[in-house]
Amino acid sequence: MSLFDVYPLYNITPEKAKGATVWDKKEIPYLDFYGGHGVISIGHSHPTYVNYLTEQVNKIGFYSNSIINPLQEKLGLVLPEFSGYPDYSLFLCNSGAEANENALKLASFHTQKSRVIAFKNSFHGRTSAAVAATDNTKIVAPINAQQKVTFLELNDIDSLKKELEKGDVSSVIIEAIQGVGGLEEGSTEFFRELEKLCKQNQVVLILDEIQCGYGRSGKFFAHQYHDIKADIISLAKGMGNGFPVGGILISPEFKASYGLLGTTFGGNHLACAAALAVLEVMKNEKILDNVNEQSQYFIEKFKTIPQIKRIKGKGLMLGLEFDFEIADLRKKLIYEKNIFTGNSNNKKLLRILPPLTIKNQEIDTLFESLKSCVQ
Ligand SMILES: Cc1ncc(COP(=O)(O)O)c(C=O)c1O
């Protein structure tokens, strides 16, 4: 049976990985400045992560959500230390799209309304409501297009106010920093106004922190740069360092009832072990400090490359914007310099999403390689 051919593949076959290095089947090392789509948070094959998962699978890997799972409870106790949302509750699922799907659904249950406000260039996943709230008609099938979604420009407070005052909006969903969209972000003034307008109009504010969350921006959540609070925060990617786990943090305003949300695999023992390992390493190794130090180091260095017109983003979620399209540069970096980087909807922007444990020397290697590719 052949694989359903939906991914254009680079001709590389990774077989093992450690820290920020990935080796292919010929033992060629690649430096990972993409983290497999911003997923790798504490580094590939971190020993604490390997131990947590190995010990857990030797005990029990999975049982259903109809039994007590103390690991879910533990995660619920540990997350508030990091998240700044001690009174919120946690619902666990398996991926980013599923987290947003549940967030949008919960908001709709809560408000008994159905229209969603999303933003131009957004990406929220590929499932029903999540893809409808994604600004890319190519991946929205007719079955998804039935959802009522209005797309607004980032920072357009007037339009936002007008839409919310119509009274039929259930939720606003927004990435604190756009990932796939190319590192665009709303201003602090905009985010504060958004929070205020949602409250005034009883609209649920959903912050999609799937890519920019979990320390990637230099704060645990990127929306915390604007000193605002969301009603629901969606998580995935860095949460499991590669193990599929996602979730939503839910304000105490929302009432749970049996069967309202549910999943077979979400929050299973292995997923929780992975998520607990990530948080333990984040704390013990002061990962947030590393993100901020390396981010500063990175930006200082790369702003000396004249071909880079702008550096966008925060922490270790960065975009290098050139005045030419970067597809060839990205290929050169992979095949000639053995370095993974990412692209985005902005064809001139190279997306940088390394493991949050990245070090100076690895940044130096990317710097020298990139310089030699663009000169
Ligand atoms: C901001 C954001 N939201 C949602 C998703 C969807 O996550 P997943 O691919 O795990 O479904 C992504 C994935 O890239 C994302 O970047």
pLDDT band at 87 (very low <50, low <70, confident <90, very high): very high
Q: Tell me: the pLDDT tens digits for 204-230?
A: 999 999 999 999 999 999 999 999 999
Encode pLDDT of 270-305 as tens digits.
Answer: 999 999 999 999 999 999 999 999 999 999 999 999
179 lines ligand 1 (CB under 6 A): yes
Q: Rounded to 5 degrees, what angle do the CA atoms 132, 136, 139 make?
A: 70
* 91-118 pLDDT tens trace: 999 999 999 999 999 999 999 999 999 9
The gap from C-alpha 63 to its chain's centroid, in whole angstroms, comes to 27
Q: Is 95 in the pocket of ligand 1 (CB under 6 A)?
A: yes
Arithmetic mean of pLDDT, 298-318: 98
Total length of the chain: 375
Instruction: Pick the atom of ligand 1 nearest to 97's CA.
Output: 11
pLDDT exceeds 90 at position 150: yes
Topology annotation, domain 48-284? Aspartate Aminotransferase; domain 2 (3.40.640)
Q: Ligand 1 centroid to 156 CA: how many Å?
A: 24
- The finding on whether 216 has its CB within 6 A of some atom of ligand 1 is no
Ligand 1 in reach of 175 Cβ (< 6 A): yes
Say how many Å lie between the CA of residue 174 and the centre of ligand 1. Answer: 12
Mean pLDDT of the chain: 97
What's the mean pLDDT in 224-242? 98
Q: Is the CB of 35 under 6 A from ligand 1?
A: no
Q: Which ligand 1 atom lies nearest to the CA of residue 125?
A: 6
Atom of ligand 1 nearest to the CA of 212: 1
Distance of CA 77 to the CA centre of its chain: 22
The pLDDT tens digits of the residues spanning 4-18 come to: 999 999 999 999 999
Q: How far apart are CA 250 and CA 234, in angstroms?
A: 9
pLDDT for 375? 87
Tens digits of per-residue pLDDT, 245-279?
999 999 999 999 999 999 999 999 999 999 999 99
CATH number of 14-42+287-374: 3.90.1150.10
Q: Residue ranges per domain, the chain?
A: 14-42+287-374, 48-284
Residue-wise pLDDT for 8-61, tens only, equals 999 999 999 999 999 999 999 999 999 999 999 999 999 999 999 999 999 999
Question: Pick from 302, 295, 296, 310: which is nearest to 356 by CA?
Answer: 295
Please, what is the end-to-end C-alpha distance for the chain in angstroms?
A: 45
